[in-house]
Structure 1
Amino acid sequence: MSDPNTPAPAKWDDLTVRLISSAFMVVIGAAGVILGGIWFQMLVVFVTAVVVWELWMMIRPSDPTKGMLLAALVASVMSGQLAQTTPWGLLLFLVVPVIGVTQLKTERKTFFVFALAIQIAGWGLVHFRVDYGFTWLLWLMSVVIVTDIFGYFAGKSFGGPKFWPAISPKKTWSGTLAGWVGAALVGFVFMLFTDAGLWIIVISMVLSFAGQMGDIAESALKRRMGVKDSSTLIPGHGGLFDRFDALLGAALFLIILADIFDVPGVVF
């Protein structure tokens, strides 16, 4: 019989802290999603602003004041955009990337692309909640969360070949494939309780992959900047960017899917 005082294997050392932090984030996120309206908007504006601040701090950690000013500007622009959206008004999303670029001596293109993508993804999440309702936003978030959970446990349990070792040394093919399986199960459940057809299973798996690519993109950024986490705001998880990278990637994909493609059998 094993000694109850024996420490758990090292690969599970962060599990307790991750679970506690995750539970806290789930409660706050679920409240915002359920309440919708201004509450969800405030939550998304906050997350978007903090993620842009973390982006700045990864690139130029020696100048936190300008990072905070850019985050405040993101919050202001996002709030204005969500209050009243116009086609020309969307150009305001260029303000923070352009100002950031003028203040940076290196990684200008990196900041511009990521800052713009982060804002568009945040804006898309809010409008997806408004346009398509609670059910489909719940589906989106469930796909991302279940992909992460299945991927985490499968990767830790089975290990195996790395998915993209040059960019993300910890991610394995077992975790990646497990994430797709989890997403397919989410799609199957929503197929049973909505008007969506079988296509929702396929779309869920593609959405899972889009989220994983968001995660990979942030991993590539961190590797390029030589940092382990985007920040230390969340115990066991790093920063908000580390937790929302997959959701941002999935949201960008979903904006394209919902606005450009008409998928048979799926009611968005």
Structure 2
Amino acid sequence: MNEKWSDLAARMGSGLVMVLIGIWGIWAGGDIFHVLVAIICGLMVWELVRIVSPDQPGVALQLGGVSGVATLLAVYLPTGFALPLLLAPCMVGLGQLKQNRSTYMIFTLLVLMAGFGMMNVRDDLGFGWMVWLVLVVVVTDVVGYFAGRMIGGPKFWPRVSPKKTWAGTVAGWIGAGVVGALFAINTGASLQLIGVSVAVSMASQMGDIAESAMKRRMGVKDSSSLIPGHGGVLDRFDGMLGASVFFLMLGQVAAFPWSV
């Protein structure tokens, strides 16, 4: 097999498992989805601490657990009480870590706010719009992956992410736009959803790039080896971090979804 496709089998196999679990969790909603998101957030913070302070495995486990619990509890509280709870793991880590505290603080905040945002999208907007958000991120990644390897061409940011190309990046935007168009046509939402989908796609790529830059600075290739072909949970869900945080901010400036 060509070297550039060498990880395809493992990537597709583990990807299929994640898709099935994700669909089940989104369909179930409620407590099941909340617990699933909280577990993912806890694992991401655990991986993050192992990256930024590798000689503190015990602290990584503690902060991962605290972050998962905080994410889960926050969704059941009024927003005013949920916000300090979501920030608490950031502050706890600042006091416990020996190094790279700022990196930990920023990424943990993104992880917990993203988790909180995803749970609220499912609870407030329902199954369909949660599927839209996930599809935009997944299509951006999948279309970008295949287009980048088939078309090749100039690299997007070779020093940080050597495999990413401009072809794959732009193809991801196009794929996201198609998802937006299909949802707009079938839900009666405004065609502005196409632009929103492209913006969410860009935000997901920013999350991916930010995580890649952080790992490169720390001298780490993957956040862990939990997911064959994908690396760690943080590697797989970095795009959802950017997309969910952006969607949270979008909700503060505009009603969603827009009607025709």
TM-score band, normalised by the shorter chain?
over 0.9
Contact 2:48 2:223 (C-alpha < 8 Å) held by counterparts: yes
Q: Deviations over 1:28-67 (max 9, x none)?
A: 0000000100110011000000000000000112221111
Corresponding residue to 1:246 among 233, 239, 242: 239
Matches within 5 A, 1:114-125: 114-125=107-118
- Check if 1:257 corresponds to 2:255: no
- How high is the TM-score relative to the length of structure 1? 0.94
SS at match of 1:169: strand
**How far apart are residue 95 of structure 1 and its match?**
1.5
Q: Which has the larger radius of gyration?
A: 1
Cα distance in 1, alignment partners of residues 239 and 65 from structure 2:
23
- Opposite residue 106 of structure 1, the aligned amino acid is Q
Deviations 1:169-217 (A, max 9, x none): 2111000000011001101110111021110111111110000000001
> Residues of 1 paired with 2:177 and 2:85: CA distance?
37
| Counterpart Cα distance in 1 of 2:123 and 2:98 | 39
Q: Which deviates more from structure 2 when the two are superposed, residues 253-262 or residues 137-146?
A: 253-262
Q: Which runs of 5+ in 2 are unaligned?
A: none
Once residues 167 and 12 of structure 1 are traced to their aligned partners in structure 2, the CA distance between those partners, rounded to angstroms, is 20
State whether structure 2 residue 3 is matched by structure 1 residue 10.
yes
Query: TM-score, length-normalised on structure 2?
Result: 0.96
Match of 1:72 among 28, 42, 65: 65
Please name the residue that 1:181 is paired with.
174
Q: Which moved more, 1:63-72 or 1:206-215?
A: 63-72
* Correspondence for 2:23 among 17, 24, 30: 30
- Partner of 2:81 in structure 1? 88
Q: 2:153 — aligned with what? A: 160
After TM superposition, give the deviation of residue 105 of structure 1 in Å.
2.5
- Considering only aligned residues, what root-mean-square deviation do their CA atoms show, in Å? 1.2
Q: Secondary structure at the match of 1:83?
A: coil
Is 66-75 or 38-47 further displaced after alignment?
A: 66-75
For residue 227 of structure 1, give the secondary structure of its aligned residue in structure 2: coil
What secondary structure is seen at the aligned counterpart in 1 of 2:159?
coil
**Worse overlay, 120-129 or 69-78:** 69-78
8 A Cα contact 2:53 2:100, kept in partner: no
Q: What is aligned with 1:62?
A: 55
The corresponding residue for 1:4 is none
1:228 and 1:123, CA in 2 relative to 1: closer, same or farther beyond 3 A? same
> How far apart, CA to CA, are the structure 2 residues paired with 1:213 and 1:259?
20
Aligned equivalents of 2:102 and 2:182: distance in 1?
41
Shift of the alpha carbon at 1:110? 0.7
One-letter amino acid matched to 2:258: V
Query: Are 1:266 and 2:253 matched, yes or no?
Result: no
- 1:56 maps to a residue whose letter is V
1:32-51 paired onto structure 2 within 5 Å: 32-51=25-44
- Structure 1 unaligned segments of length 5 or more: list them: 1-7
On the 8 A contact 2:223/2:234 being kept in 1, the answer is yes
What is the deviation of 1:94? 1.9
Q: Do 2:90 and 2:108's aligned partners in 1 also have CA atoms closer than 8 Å?
A: yes
Task: Give identity over the alignment, percent.
Answer: 46
